[in-house]
Structure formats: structure tokens, C-alpha cells
Structure 1
Amino acid sequence: MAHFESNRNLAMVFIALSIAWIAILFIESSQPPAAIMGEVSGLDKAAHFLVFGVLALLVCGASFNLYPESAMSKFLTPLLIVTFIGILDELYQLSNPTRAFELWDLVADVGGAAVFLCLLRTF
């Protein structure tokens, strides 16, 4: 029972970190983009790739500790959650006149999550 409680507590830490990370994403999305994003080609997509890759790892950490016996939920569930958050983030940017919904940003979001999860699975 102590092992399950330890996993549950660790899962709660990962969930809290995931929520904090998502809040930071949405706060950043409510601001005008940083000037450097327009100056360096591809930097915006690389940022999406990295940020959503980190989010995937955080969600995966929660999944590992909540459902240690289910291999499917460890990787597919985090990918679906991060994809959903990516869609919400892009839709949220429609409410900001300095931002826009960009399909390539969403592709970078999902790609970053998928690559980070594949790397985690490999190692």
C-alpha cells in the first residue's frame, strides 16, 4: 500500500507541474510574440516543439505513476492530452489580435510531444 501511495503522491506532483506548465503556455499565448521569434527563421516552431515535448514528459510522468501496469496509457494518453492542449492553445490565440491559429504550430506541438515520448520510451 505504501508503494501505491508513493506513486500516487508522485503522480500528483507531475499533475501539478503539468497544470503549471499549461498555465505558463496560455499566459505566454496571451502576450504578443517575442521579437526574436520573427527574426530567426524556424525559432517559433522549435519553441513549440520543445515546450510541448516537455509537457508530454510531465503528463507521461503522471501517467506512469497513476497507471503503472498499462503500457498504452503511458504513451498514447499523454500524446492525446498534449494534442488537445495544443489545439486549445491555438484556438485561444484567435482571441489575441497579435496572434493567429497556425496549423504548423500545432504540427510542431504534436511532433515535439511524439518525439519526446519516443525518446522516453527508447531510454
Structure 2
Amino acid sequence: MPLMFLEVPSGLDRSAKAELLAGLTAVIDKTYQFPDTRIFLREYPQENVCQDGRVDAGPIRPVGFLEAPELSNVDAKRLLVVGLQEVIAQHYAEIADVEQTLILINQYPLENVGWLKQLQSDNPMIVQAVEALNS
């Protein structure tokens, strides 16, 4: 059930996008070992991005928003962030300022997540997976 929105410059072809999305999914799935990882790619032309108050301020700095269950293990978060940034850098190095990639992690307690017509705090499989993740 992790969800990621990736805000990036336009410019990757379909094949590169497929590789990017597969790589991001692999990193997320390695951390959150349960189903339904979704990633939405949002692409912007340079003229539609303002950085530090300026349009055309240089290469776009990617931003990733990860919406996921609570993860209390800081080392796991570190590995997750590094993995996501590496995949983004691998695909956008030529068209974005990948050194400045920002990853924002928004965490949700399971009682604030609804999926498959139930709160995930009522889903034993997800509760066990999150408990194992945070042990």
C-alpha cells in the first residue's frame, strides 16, 4: 500500500520510465514487504517550474513524496531514501539536478489507512507486516 508521487522534468522515453518505475518499486517493496505499491510520475517542462523564486533557474530538482505506513526504524528509512535517490539519479542524471533530490516521507498509522473496504489496523496481514518492519 505504499504510494509515491515523483515530480520530475519531462524528457524520459517510455522504456526509461518503465525502468525507473520498476526500480523505485523494487526499493519500496524491499522496505515495505506487502502488496499494492503505487507510483505516479508527474512530469513538468522547465517553463512550468519555479525554483528559489525563478523560472528557468537551472535543471529541475526532483521531489518524491512517499505516503506509507509508519516506519520507526531510522536505519530502514535511511536505506529507503538512499535507494530511491539512487534510482532517480540513475535515470535523470542528464536532465535534472539529481544531487538536490528531495524525498518527503509521510507516515500514517494503520487506523488512518483504508484499503479493500477496511481499515488496515483491522487487516492481520498488514498489522503483522508493519510490526515485523518496526521490530
- The two structures have a TM-score, normalised by structure 2, of 0.34
Provide the TM-score with structure 1 as the length reference. 0.37
| Higher RCO (CA < 8 A, seq sep 6+) | 1
Q: Select the structure that is richer in helix.
A: 1
More strand, by proportion: 2
